[in-house]
Amino acid sequence: MVYNNPNSPRQKMINLMYLVFIAMLALNVSSDVLNGFDIVGDSLNNSSDNMHTRNQLIMGELEKYNTQNREKAGEWYDKGIQVKQMSDSLVDYMEGLKMMMAKEADGKKGDACKIKNKDNLDAASVVMLSPSTRRGSKLRTNIRSYRQTVTELIHDPNRRKIIENNLSTAPSKRSDPNKNWEESLFENMPVSAAVAILSKIQNDVRSSEGEALNSLLNSVDVSDFRVNQINAYVIPESKVIIQGGTYNARIVLSAEDSTQTPNIFVNGKSLDPSAKGLFSAVNTGTGTFPVEGYIEMAGGDGSIMRRPFSDSYTVIEPMATIAPTLMNVLYAGIENEISISVPGITPQDVTATMTNGSLVRKGNLWVAKPLAAGRDATISISARTGSQIRQLAAKSFHVRALPNPTPYIEYTDVNGNPVMFKGGGLSKSVLVNASGIKAAIDDGILNIPFQVTGFRTVFFDSMGNAIPEISNGSRFSERQKEQIRRLQHGKYFYISGVKATGPDGLEREIAVIEVRVN
């Protein structure tokens, strides 16, 4: 009689090839998505530069007021210097991290602005999560300290809450709850995406710096210094707009007079006074678009004061990512967790459908349950932008049947830890006390229990004749246990014909267990 031994060299080679195949599927990241991260990263960097320039102008005003009247403006100017130094230090530190990632991915000549190996999954983890350097932990600590310092300078509770959310160091809600902030952002993350994440944090730092400096500027007595220093600003809701979305920006003076309404001209047209400085534009194409013009205000002497402004915003193609949390395949008959995200769109405005099965939202994830193996399932993503619902992306997945589980005998070792015996030597006392056979897929990727419905044991008498015995469902029958009690040390018997039913409802006969009595 020949048995399929799961520990044979041939079976081990098959298992190894299976794991390599799964790893290759998991690394199949779309180049379009990776290029999209570069586009977003470049736009965020441009936005950060613009905000840095704006912040320098505000700091320049604080410096002027400090020069004019140190007694009243000195406290706010000194705090402004502190905010600027902390902001520059934090931004520079993250810029250094991006360069480290680029060099880890592309070698000594790696450039964070021109990453070649965009899909490298190791660079971000090596730089941010190494136990020896703990750079991710250091960044988290620095961001938390910066957030606490800056929010103390903001008087408006709503603006303070925005900064606390933007610079939150709590783990991502989409990640494993056991992971910390840096692990949820950078573990197994493509290097292009990791660099974009750091650019986004830099952008948030510059935005928070601007809010803090504006608050400090507002703390200076207007009647003493500010009414003769009026400038126009463009304050956008977002600098990056999905194609077909709406760009919204508030255009204001740095000092306001509630008794007058200024005249605003944007891109050659007068803005309706009822808009109260809110400028909106819809663009069907992609690219960078200007927001330029000037504000006019009548002075007390009848003269007209004009202050120009200039800004821009970027429209990008809509992007959506669809990824199973296990691997790049779906299994028929079970719930497969799927992560779906659309940059720039809130989760409640995202909808998804699937062919060859069902797809439902479950918390921050989606659960896909394909019907039939061997037939692809396509997941389609739509999102609401304004009053329109737009189709964003679709991705097809191969649907596979669940692999066969492995049978095992479960017992508890001397330390009280559960042990899964899958073949080899085992003491007679453990065998006699074992209730029966269990089965599960437990290969490090899937962890799915099966229900054993029956099995047989094969013993051999002194003449070498096989003596089969049938189980009582998943449990050893009394005849089987009696045969086990009779076995001498060093003798073998086999557990074969194991039948198990999985969550897909299919019954299958699985591998043989070879048992040697110790």
CA distance 65 to 81: 14
159, burial (CB in 10 Å: exposed 0-12, middle 13-18, buried 19+): middle
CA distance 488 to 516: 10
Our measurement of the distance from residue 10's CA atom to the centroid of its chain's CA atoms, rounded to an integer in Å, reads 39
Give the pLDDT of residue 4.
Answer: 44
The verdict on domain 320-400 having CATH code 3.40.50.150 is: no
Give the pLDDT of residue 1.
Answer: 41
Our measurement of the distance from residue 285's CA atom to the centroid of its chain's CA atoms, rounded to an integer in Å, reads 28
In sequence order, the 6+-apart residues with CB closer than 8 A to the CB of 415 are: none
Residue of 479, 299, 310, 320 whose CA lies nearest to 385: 320
Give the pLDDT of residue 312.
Answer: 78
Give the pLDDT of residue 18.
Answer: 45
The verdict on domain 230-317 having CATH code 3.30.9.10 is: no
Helix 157-166 to helix 191-218 angle (10° resolution) is: 160
Give the pLDDT of residue 240.
Answer: 53
Helix (H) or strand (E) segment spanning residue 15:
helix 9-26
Please name the residue that has the structure tokens 């800056």: 150
Q: Count CB-CB contacts under 10 A for residue 325.
A: 12
Q: Helix (H, G, I), strand (E, B), or coil: what is residue 127?
A: helix
Integer angstrom CA distances of residue 407 from 356, 422, 450, 480, 515: 31, 7, 9, 17, 12
Q: Count CB-CB contacts under 10 A for residue 232.
A: 21
Are 230-317 and 320-400 the same fold in CATH?
Answer: yes
CA distance 197 to 170: 15
Write out residues in the chain with pLDDT < 70, as ranges.
Answer: 1-42, 172, 174-175, 221-231, 233-234, 236-245, 247, 252-260, 283, 299-303, 316-327, 344, 385-387, 444-445
Question: CB of 241 within 8 A of CB of 316?
Answer: yes
Residue count of the chain, please give it.
518
Q: Helix (H, G, I), strand (E, B), or coil: what is residue 143?
A: helix
Q: Where are the domains of the chain?
A: 19-228, 230-317, 320-400, 404-517
